[in-house]
Structure 1
Amino acid sequence: MRDFSVADDDVARRRRTFTDLYSDHHSWLHGWLRKKLGCSQRAADLAHDAFIRVLTLAEPHTIKEPRAFLATMAGRLLIDGARRRRIEQAYLEALAIQAHDAGMPDPEAIHVALEALEKIAVMLAGLPDKNREAFLLSRLDGLTYSEIAIELKVSASTVKNYVAGALVHCYNTLYGAEQPS
């Protein structure tokens, strides 16, 4: 049979050690980090992380110079954070280069797209407001006729007529056919 009182005593001793260490040195560590970083919030986060690491130590009661130990621990956390930020920045730069190489259209493609958008704008400009709105809600927003009907406060069959009228108008504008009277 296991003696739980020994284990309980060890847990109580570790808790006391940590509590004493925290209450005696937390504000000092926070101030030391704040001076180094110039940011109270980052200093608080790093001080917290340093004490979390102390919690994971097998024998925190063996720490002889708590401030030197905590400063070393916090310094390592600063180095780890800087290293992580450099890696993240390099990764983001590599992603930007990859996106630029793979997805950036050439100036001619941009020009063609802008011309197409201008033609679309001209086509839509000649539409009645309800037809244009129904058409855009259908084609750009992907709404169903029923959803558009709720949005425009009309019936779904009216929305169908609006969209059909917009399509006919766009076709006629695009191909130069005369508008039906």
Structure 2
Amino acid sequence: MSSKSTSKDVVTPAPSGSGEELDRLYRGYRDRLRRYVAANFGPGPPDPEDVVQIAFEKFAVREDRHAIESPEAFLARSARNYVLDQRRRQKVRSDHAEGEKILGALHDDCDAERVLSAKQRWQILERTIRAMDPRRQQVLIMNRIHGVSYAEIARQLKCSPTLVKMHAAQALVQCERALREAEEET
């Protein structure tokens, strides 16, 4: 929320535990909290107005809310955490749906001919990789199979990142050439 606050922006809490206290806080902070959510996280989802309601619900159920020094900061943090949690959940759902879609497509494409073709391509790649220069082979395996960055490979192998990139590029060209030559033979 804004660090700029004037004396008219300060909401004086009523005695702890009263509905009047919550009403006063809600009227005093609702619009600023909604603007804060919209400015920092966009129009949704989740909807900024819904986020404000959730933040106030979290505040209202706290038995120690009278001990909270800055209700506005608590509400802002609650709102922020709620939005981030919702976005994480949405990402997980989206990733899961995408994975299901990919698996469905793979399942549809897994006829006997495609499986045999994939096995043959894998055997060609495996032979090609085994026949590579050991350094080139190591770079390819570290990067493409284990997901190690070029910079990290360079650090581990005590060489320059440019050399690592060159080895990786040559390894990929070698693999592509082997696959292309095998296709031309059939």
TM norm structure 1 = 0.47
Look at both structures and tell me which one has the larger radius of gyration over its CA atoms. Answer: 1
TM norm structure 2 = 0.45
